Amino acid sequence: MFNENELNEIKSFSPETREGKYLKAGLHKVKITEYELVEPGNGKCPYFQFIVEDEYESRCKCKLFRVSGNESEQAKTIKLDNLKRLAIAAKADFGQKDPKKFAQSMTNNYFQIALRKKDYIGYDANNSNKPVIKFITEYSFAEPILDEHGKPNVVIMKESYLEKELSADEMKSFKSQLEDWELKHNSNEPSTVKENSNQEEEDDGLPF
């Protein structure tokens, strides 16, 4: 028979929390616990930064680019579509006229979020800034928990929703940088290194 402590541990256990408190790529039931409307300046694109948390307090920091007024119509459409999709999923109060209250209305409402693993070129500060392939876990899209009929909203996941590898041009750049580094340092170390990063990417001003 289970004792009381063992029973409580069984009830509260989540496989996602076995290796830390960070959500991994996949589909999760979450709520927004914190948010910030960021205005970086210096020609960089403003964005909506927010933290989501699941029922077991595993978290992920996400961001969506906002309209700057300098983008193409296509980029503007993508940004607005992404932001509205999140707002609908997170049950935003569309009757709010105050932008801050509108954003606030999205907090603490559970919805489904798809997170993906995105590769990028980083540098190992502990090894003479050797080029390495790192990754972050980032926002992919959001969906309501229930559909318009009040039934569970079933989300069909695709591989592209969960992972974004380096493009052909980015991989070519990585290999070129690595070759230059190895020539300089006479290194014979493996050329494909992937490591997780909880650091934020530099904002490149693009919505994708």
Question: Where in the chain are the domains?
Answer: 14-196
DSSP the chain: ---HHHHHHHHH--GGGTT-SB--SEEEEEEEEEEEEE---TTPPPEEEEEEEETT--EEEEEEEPP-SSS-HHHHHHHHHHHHHHHHHTT--TT--SHHHHHHTTBT--EEEEEEEEEEEEEETTTTTEEEEEEEEEEEEEE-SB-TTSSB-PPPP-HHHHEEPPPHHHHHHHHHHHHHHHHHHT----S--EEE--SPPP--S---
Q: How far apart are CA 79 and CA 66, in angstroms?
A: 6
- Region 166-186: what's the mean pLDDT? 93
Percent of the chain scoring above 90 in pLDDT: 64
Two tokens, residue 128: 């003479």
Q: What angle do CA 165, 170, 174 make, to 5 degrees?
A: 105
Quick: pLDDT tens for 136-164.
999 999 999 998 888 999 998 888 889 99
Strand partners, 191: none
Is the distance from CB of 76 to CB of 67 less than 8 angstroms? yes
pLDDT in the model for residue 58:
93
Instruction: Supply the pTM of this predicted model.
Output: 0.76
pLDDT in the model for residue 41:
83
Q: What are phi and psi of 45, to 5 degrees?
A: -75, 135
Quick: pLDDT tens for 50-88.
999 999 999 999 999 999 988 899 999 999 999 999 999
The one-letter code for the residue type at 99 is: P
The one-letter code for the residue type at 23 is: L
